[in-house]
A and B are shown apart, each in its own frame.
Chain A
Amino acid sequence: MQALQKFKGKNKANKSIIPGFGLSMGITLSMLSFIVLIPLASVLLSLKDISFSEFIEVIVDRQTVSAYKVSISCAFIASSINVVFGVLLAWILTRYKFPCKRIFDGLIELPFALPTAVAGISLTTLYSDKGWIGALFNKIGVKISYTKVGITIAMIFIGIPFVVRSIQPILEKLDSQYEEAAAILGADKHIIFLKVIFPEILPAMLTGFALAFARSIGEYGSVVFIAGNIPYKTQITPLIIMSKLEQFNYPAATSIALIMIIFSFIILFGINVLSSRVNKIASGD
């Protein structure tokens, strides 16, 4: 409460006549602290049982490093593919009229609504040797489930709504008069896209990429089944943490978790910088 008083005292400019500052700020800060901040900070606290050299040893362990590589490379490829399809889907959903458009638009959100474990077992089965799509690829000798291709596909699945929903509002708000002006001046369709539309949606594409990338790196449920957990090949970082936890090797689990937390904070910071730029475009400044 004292901290709160100090907090209020500092803000002499705050002379709002609307009631409830103390109550709402008190509830907000205490719930935020108890549910998010204190538990997160406890990760650091629990590292006191492990020396610095042991910490380094754990985080650069060969199996762990290969898991970082799998997570980052698959997430990068999946998010890049998502940017391409995200632009395409956002484009057809905002610019064209066709049957089933509203259903397609609604389905984009499916990966948010479908429990990740369900998505995981379903994608694994669909892309296994016996699944509808996996069987086709099996004939030409390509395996998808239990390989990095499978991990990438699962990450495409969970990442697509982030990209589409970042780009769609920008395309909707985009003033068509510039495109018309360019067309009247005789610009080609693809030149209009490259010179007029592309620069406008680029920040949104990057935000969508970063959001999808962050989600793919941390994702567990939809990736773990299709990954198959083969050490040095298809182990993702969250799975390494999970297996350390199952061995009750808490110091190792928290060390790797700390690396992931730092990594996601960096991405979060990047997303915040990017989306403030996107908001400027969307609000028309």
Chain B
Amino acid sequence: MREKALKIILIFIGAAFIVIMLIMPLLTVIAYALRQGWNTFFNAISDPYAIKALKLTLFTTIISLVVNTVFGIFAAWAITKFNFRAKQILITLIDIPFSISPIIAGLIFIVVFGRIGWAYPLLEALNIKVVFAVPGIVLATIFVTFPFVSRELIPLMNSSGSDEEEAAALMGAKGFYIFRKITLPHIKWSLLYGMILCTARALGEFGAVSVVSGHLRGKTNTLPLHVEILYSEFNLTAAFSVASLLVIIAVIILILRNLIEYRLKRGEND
């Protein structure tokens, strides 16, 4: 009897935490987005600046996703299929962006490409703008999402070993053929999982992008930065309307993530 009471109390506390800390912030976004009716909501999300911000966010996300997926696959291949010294150091170096503040992630590109950066004269000569322009935003986003794919693949490829790949190589198969026919089917769900995490972070990155963007409306504004501008202009309804778009994307990502996690767990048990 006491145990049952304890169970109910613990579940109640856990549920209260989840409702207050996680569900209520979500409901706040929706409630504020719709508090002046659907018309205001649609006006806010169809505003030309909002649409430009959405386009830039999607563009940045796609590039980061492609770059980090390519990197993640090559890095996982190098780390798990071969023996070399300093392997653990390499893994730790790849994980650095996780432990760095997003503000610093933006700052490091300013000290390279900004007015004070060592690469600035070169960029000036080539007439390329990186900081306070789209390339800076893309670079900062790639940096913050850098380890996402590789860190999902490395543990899995480590534990599955390389016997099958070795057998294929002995029989004369080429590298990419081995990867496509043997490795990829093993890792496809983990790869997708890492790509989804990468997408989520890239879509929502705020701090790093905020540092390098220069907040030029219609030019270097991503969706999260657009939300910030609307909010700081005390245009709460518009800010939350645009934010609700990001919430919808976040919820879709969350569902996909859980579906894939479920597949991964089932795969482990097979």
Given contacts A18-B166, A89-B17, A250-B111, contact A118 B81 (CB under 8 A): no
Contact pick for B100, options A107, A253, A264, A272, CB 8 Å:
A264
B123 close to A (CB within 8 Å)? no
Interface residues of B (CB under 8 A from A): 3, 6-7, 10-11, 13-15, 17-18, 20-26, 28-29, 32, 67, 70-71, 74-75, 77-79, 81-85, 90, 92-97, 99-104, 107-112, 114, 116-118, 139, 142-143, 146, 162, 165-166, 169-170, 174-175, 178-179, 197, 200-201, 203-207, 210-211, 223-225, 227-228, 231, 236, 239-240, 243, 246-247, 250-251, 253-255, 257-258
CB atoms of A109 and B254 under 8 A apart = yes
Given contacts A10-B85, A221-B224, A261-B104, contact A157 B21 (CB under 8 A): yes
A/B interface sample: 14 pairs, CB < 8 A: A18-B169, A24-B74, A27-B70, A43-B111, A88-B10, A109-B254, A116-B207, A118-B247, A132-B28, A189-B3, A218-B102, A218-B104, A257-B104, A260-B101
Other than the given A24-B74, A25-B82, 7 more pairs (CB < 8 A) read: A17-B169, A27-B71, A31-B75, A32-B94, A115-B227, A125-B240, A131-B28
Q: A268 to B137, alpha carbons, bound, how many Å?
A: 26
Residues of chain A with a CB closer than 8 A to B75's CB: 24, 27-28, 31-32
A217 close to B (CB within 8 Å)? yes
Contact pick for B227, options A17, A104, A118, CB 8 Å:
A118
Residues of chain B with a CB closer than 8 A to A68's CB: none
CB distance from A97 to the nearest CB of B (A): 10
Q: Looking across the interface, which residue of chain B has its beta carbon closest to that of A112?
A: B200
- List residues of A (207-242) whose CB comes within 8 Å of B's CBs: 214, 217-221, 225, 237-238, 241-242
CB distance from A112 to the nearest CB of B (A): 7
Residues of chain B with a CB closer than 8 A to A108's CB: 18, 22
Q: Mark A27-51, 1 if CB is under 8 A from B, else 0.
A: 1100110011111101101100100
Contact pick for B78, options A28, A88, A119, CB 8 Å:
A28
Residues of chain B with a CB closer than 8 A to A153's CB: 21
CB distance from A7 to the nearest CB of B (A): 7
Main secondary structure of the interface of B (DSSP, over half): helix
Residues of chain A with a CB closer than 8 A to B15's CB: 100, 104
Interface residues of A (CB under 8 A from B): 7, 10-11, 13-14, 16-21, 23-25, 27-28, 31-32, 35-40, 42-43, 45-46, 49, 85, 88-89, 91-93, 96, 98, 100, 102, 104-123, 125-126, 131-133, 153, 156-157, 160, 189, 214, 217-221, 225, 237-238, 241-242, 245, 250, 253-254, 257, 260-261, 264-265, 267-268, 271-272
A-B contacts at CB below 8 angstroms, number: 291
Contact pick for B206, options A42, A117, A253, CB 8 Å:
A117
6 residue pairs, one from A and one from B, having the closest CB atoms: A115-B204, A218-B101, A220-B207, A221-B206, A24-B78, A39-B108
CB atoms of A36 and B207 under 8 A apart = no
Contact pick for B11, options A28, A49, A92, A261, CB 8 Å:
A92
CB atoms of A21 and B82 under 8 A apart = yes
Q: A117 to B224, alpha carbons, bound, how many Å?
A: 6
CB atoms of B236 and A125 under 8 A apart = yes
Residues of chain A with a CB closer than 8 A to B250's CB: 110, 113-115, 118
CB atoms of B93 and A32 under 8 A apart = yes
Contact pick for B83, options A14, A131, A238, A267, CB 8 Å:
A14
Contact pick for B13, options A88, A93, A116, A225, CB 8 Å:
A88
Contact pick for A19, options B6, B174, B236, CB 8 Å:
B174
Residues of chain B with a CB closer than 8 A to A271's CB: 99
CB atoms of A221 and B102 under 8 A apart = yes
Given contacts A19-B178, A116-B206, A220-B207, contact A267 B99 (CB under 8 A): yes
Given contacts A31-B71, A133-B20, A254-B107, contact A118 B139 (CB under 8 A): no
Q: A279 to B67, alpha carbons, bound, how many Å?
A: 29
